Amino acid sequence: MAKEIKLAAERREPGSSGDARRLRRAGWLPAVVNTVAGDGVPIRLARHEFEMMLRHHASENLIADLALDGGTALKVLLKDVQHHPVTGGLLHADFVEISMTEKLEVRVGVSLVGEPVGVREQGGVLEHLLRELEIECLATDLVEEIEVDVSGLSIGDSIVVSDLAVDPKLTILTGADVAVAAVGAPRVEEEEVKPEEAEAEEPEVIGEKKEEGEPEEEPEDKKERAEEREEKKGREEKKGKAES
C-alpha cells in the first residue's frame, strides 16, 4: 500500500502566476485540492517540508490526511506535481479528495529487478520499454511501484503486460500486449571507411604509366625489348667508330 502521511495546509486566495512566484519565494508551495463535491480549493503548503517528504518515497502516488487551517483532515491523493523544467524545483501540486470505498485509476511506476541471463551470459542488451502502468484499485490497496523480475530473459525474450503477476486487488488497465521489457542482441556498429582512408590503402603503382586498354607486357617481351636496345646501341657505336 502507498504510504500515508499527514499534511498541514492553509487556504489561500486564487491569484495570478505572479502571486504564485511570491508564495514560492516566501517558502510556500501553491497547490489545489479537488473535493468530492467538485470544488477546487486553492491551498498553500510548506514547500521545503513537502519536498523532503517526496524524496523519501519511490513514487508520487501518496495518500495523505490533509488538514486545512487546523480543521478536520481530508483524505487526499497526490495527483500531480509540477517541476521547474531547468532546476527541477517544485512549482505546484494537485490533490484530489478520495473515498476509501471507491476505486481509483492511477499510474504506478514499473521497476525491473534482476540481471537477465541474456545480458550476463550472452552479451545482450536489456531494454526497459514501459515505465508506468495504469491500474485501478481501492486507495487502501494502492502501491508505489510494481516490480518485474527479468532475470530469466534470454536474447530475443520479452515480457508483456499480460505476463505480469500482480496483486489480485489491482486491475491493470494498460493493454495486455504492451511490451514491458526485452533483451536484444548486442549492437554492432560497422566502422565507416572514409574516402581519404580508402585512397591511402590503394597500393602505389611504380613504373611507366600505361594507356587505358593497353595490355600489360609479359616478362619475356620486356627481356627481348631490352636486348634489342642493347644491340641497336652497339651498332651505333660501331658505326660511329668507322666514320671517325
In which band, very low, low, confident or very high, does the pLDDT at 54 lie, cut at 50, 70 and 90? confident
- DSSP assigned state of 238: H
89 and 104 co-located in one domain? no
Span 19-36, average pLDDT = 91
Q: Is residue 208 part of a domain?
A: no
87 and 148 co-located in one domain? no
- DSSP assigned state of 208: P
86 and 175 co-located in one domain? no
Instruction: Evaluate if residue 205 carries a pLDDT over 80.
Output: no
pTM for this predicted structure: 0.63
Other C-beta atoms lying within 10 Å of the C-beta of residue 164: 18
| Mean pLDDT computed over every residue of the chain | 83
For residue range 214-235, list pLDDT tens digits in order: 555 555 555 666 666 776 666 6
In which band, very low, low, confident or very high, does the pLDDT at 140 lie, cut at 50, 70 and 90? confident
Alpha helices in the chain (DSSP H): 17-25, 47-55, 117-120, 195-201, 219-243
Which domain-ending residue is among 187, 215, 238?
Answer: 187
C-beta of residue 107 within 8 angstroms of C-beta of residue 142: no
19 and 37 co-located in one domain? yes
Instruction: Evaluate if residue 180 carries a pLDDT over 70.
Output: yes
Cα–Cα distance measured from residue 6 to residue 134, given in angstroms and rounded to the nearest whole number: 26
Which domain-ending residue is among 187, 210, 236?
Answer: 187
Instruction: Evaluate if residue 189 carries a pLDDT over 90.
Output: no
The b-or-e profile of 118-150 (16+ CB within 10 A means b, else e) is bbeeeebebeeebeebebebbbebbbbebebeb
In which band, very low, low, confident or very high, does the pLDDT at 56 lie, cut at 50, 70 and 90? confident
Instruction: Evaluate if residue 202 carries a pLDDT over 90.
Output: no
93 and 104 co-located in one domain? no
Q: Is residue 78 part of a domain?
A: yes
90 and 141 co-located in one domain? no
pLDDT at 25: 92
Span 123-152, average pLDDT = 94
Least confident range from 143-157, 179-193, 210-224: namely: 210-224
- What is the total count of domains within the chain? 2
In which band, very low, low, confident or very high, does the pLDDT at 187 lie, cut at 50, 70 and 90? confident
The sign one gets for the Cα dihedral 9, 10, 13, 16 is negative
CATH number of domain containing 157:
2.170.120.20
Q: Is residue 218 part of a domain?
A: no
In which band, very low, low, confident or very high, does the pLDDT at 34 lie, cut at 50, 70 and 90? very high
- pLDDT: which is higher, 3 or 151: 151
pLDDT at 199: 58
92 and 7 co-located in one domain? yes
In which band, very low, low, confident or very high, does the pLDDT at 1 lie, cut at 50, 70 and 90? low
In which band, very low, low, confident or very high, does the pLDDT at 37 lie, cut at 50, 70 and 90? confident
Instruction: Evaluate if residue 244 carries a pLDDT over 60.
Output: no
Span 18-24, average pLDDT = 88
By DSSP bridging, strand 179-184 and strand 158-160 are antiparallel
62 and 76 co-located in one domain? yes
Q: Is residue 43 part of a domain?
A: yes
Q: Is residue 200 part of a domain?
A: no
Q: Is residue 204 part of a domain?
A: no
Q: Which domain holds residue 81?
A: 1-98
pLDDT at 146: 94
pLDDT at 196: 61
89 and 111 co-located in one domain? no
Which domain-ending residue is among 43, 72, 98?
Answer: 98
Single out the residue of 48, 62, 53, 45 nearest to residue 10, CA to CA: 45
CATH number of domain containing 12:
2.40.240.10
73 and 132 co-located in one domain? no
- If you search the block for the grid coordinates 657505336, which residue do you land on? 237
Q: Is residue 243 part of a domain?
A: no
24 and 76 co-located in one domain? yes
Q: How many residues would you count in the chain?
A: 244
Q: Is residue 210 part of a domain?
A: no
126 and 66 co-located in one domain? no
> Residue 94: which residues within 8 A CB-CB, separation 6 or more?
31, 32, 34, 78, 79, 80, 81
The sign one gets for the Cα dihedral 207, 208, 214, 215 is negative
Least confident range from 7-21, 33-47, 117-131: namely: 7-21
